[in-house]
Amino acid sequence: MPKSPLELLKIDHLLSSDERDIAATVRDFVDRRVRPNVADWYERGDIDLELVKEAGSLGLLGMHLTGYGCAGTNAVSYGLACLELEAGDSGVRSLVSVQGSLTMFAIWKFGSEEQKQRWLPAMAAGEALGCFGLTEPDFGSNPAGMRTHAVRDGDDWVLNGTKMWITNGSAADVAVVWAQTDKDQPGKGIRGFLVPTDTPGFSAPKVKHKLSLRASITSELILDNVRLPADAVLPEVRGLRGPLSCLNEARFGIVFGSLGAARDCLDTTLAYARTREVFDRSLASYQLTQAKLADMTLELQKGFLLALHLGRLKDDHQLDPEQISLGKLNNVREAIKIARTCRTILGANGITGEYPIMRHANNLESVLTYEGTSEVHQLVIGQALTGENAFT
């Protein structure tokens, strides 16, 4: 009896019954709501935002946070949920990840009690959607150089600037926006602001004509003399530590999530190879095909074990940023290799929307560079190994 790639490794005994149940619940959600529709969303360059409320009803939004209506699951459960969501599409996982690991985490970790009470219960329920404004048109890997700035005007703050490549931006109810507040101390004076998206001067036009992450809303944020009250600032953090700690939360989800895209490619390819006949034999019966399948399965299994190990470290409060870089660098890099190799087995069928292979491959091109490019993660790891900072 043929086995699936992760069944071959017998991973179930490494997971608790609660972790297996959460993974099964999210997989069922993806099978019901995402798989039947995602090819159409991708073709249209859009996503059904009813998913937000449905994900909230399942407890998926901010699920690894505690209190304020959040589910309070462990890190491994959150990772497994990301894996199952990204098996549907990277855009769906991004929607959930930006909501929970970036926007909600920033409020939960650095917000005032009033800010938490105002936003977190509604966001956990899927009644409010958030976005996270850090990246700028000219500052991605170097956020310390951001041009968006906030100045005091009496008791208020006035924000001006532009953010780019912001997931959920055009549909969000609130944006966490990071801005310079001290021109004499770039980076050190960075503060986070909660910006309701109906604030005068705030706009979020969609980024159009994408060839990747098409089943996802990507936006530019424009802040034109956006006036905010004093209590809009996140009070518990100053400097890059704030946004970078949020990014590490999201990167952790990608360590697992990218494996979901790879698993879906491999499962699809296995099913295809068993039924596709070439020279009167199944494609699966050829040595070259089996060699590719075996190599891809091995990389998927190794990536899962790495992700699970990092998850256990996170649950034990022992996970360091450079370890997250190890996971993100390896698993996304291997996932995109798996997607490309699967495409070779499907041949011309692999480039059509009838199969998910090319959609996953295109999405992973974005996942490869967002939340830190591969090169950034190489430098993080290199610095941990050598003690030398090679960023500048």
Q: Does residue 113 have a pLDDT over 90?
A: yes
Report the percent of the chain where pLDDT is more than 70.
99
Q: What does the pLDDT look like over 345-387, one tens digit per residue?
A: 999 999 999 999 999 999 999 999 988 889 999 999 999 999 9
Q: Say which residue, 188 or 146, is predicted with more confidence.
A: 146
Task: Identify the pLDDT of residue 121.
Answer: 97
pLDDT bin (cut points 50, 70, 90) of residue 143 is confident
Report the percent of the chain where pLDDT is more than 90.
88
Q: Where in the chain do CATH 2.40.110.10 domains reside?
A: 131-238
Q: Which residue in 334, 362, 346 sits closest to 273, CA to CA? A: 346
Task: Identify the pLDDT of residue 31.
Answer: 97
Catalytic pick from 136, 220, 299, 371? 371
Q: What does the pLDDT look like over 22-47, one tens digit per residue?
A: 999 999 999 999 999 999 999 999 99
Q: Which residue in 57, 77, 82 sits closest to 65, CA to CA? A: 77
What's the CATH fold of domain 131-238?
A: Butyryl-CoA Dehydrogenase, subunit A; domain 2 (2.40.110)
Helices (H), the chain: 5-8, 17-29, 38-44, 50-57, 75-88, 90-97, 105-110, 113-124, 241-275, 287-315, 321-346, 357-369, 374-386
Q: Which residue in 161, 160, 168 sits closest to 98, CA to CA? A: 168
Annotated catalytic residue 354: no
Considering the four listed CATH numbers 1.10.3720.10, 1.10.540.10, 3.40.50.300, 3.40.50.620, the one that applies to the domain covering 12-129 is 1.10.540.10
Task: Identify the pLDDT of residue 9.
Answer: 85
Q: Does residue 8 have a pLDDT over 90?
A: no
Q: What is the pTM of this model?
A: 0.94
Q: Does residue 184 have a pLDDT over 70?
A: no
Q: What does the pLDDT look like over 301-311, one tens digit per residue?
A: 999 999 999 99
Look at strands 202-203 and 218-228 and give their pairing. Answer: antiparallel
Considering the four listed CATH numbers 1.10.30.50, 3.40.50.300, 3.40.50.150, 1.20.140.10, the one that applies to the domain covering 242-386 is 1.20.140.10
Helix (H, G, I), strand (E, B) or coil at 229: coil
Average pLDDT over residues 180-186: 76
Task: Identify the pLDDT of residue 391.
Answer: 86
Nearest 5°: the CA angle 68, 114, 158 is 125
Task: Identify the pLDDT of residue 186.
Answer: 63
Q: Does residue 187 have a pLDDT over 70?
A: no
Q: What does the pLDDT look like over 243-276, one tens digit per residue?
A: 989 999 999 999 999 999 999 999 999 999 999 9
Task: Identify the pLDDT of residue 140.
Answer: 79
Q: Does residue 144 have a pLDDT over 90?
A: no
Range of lowest pLDDT (186-200, 279-293, 298-312): 186-200
Task: Identify the pLDDT of residue 185.
Answer: 66
Range of lowest pLDDT (23-32, 151-160, 187-196): 187-196
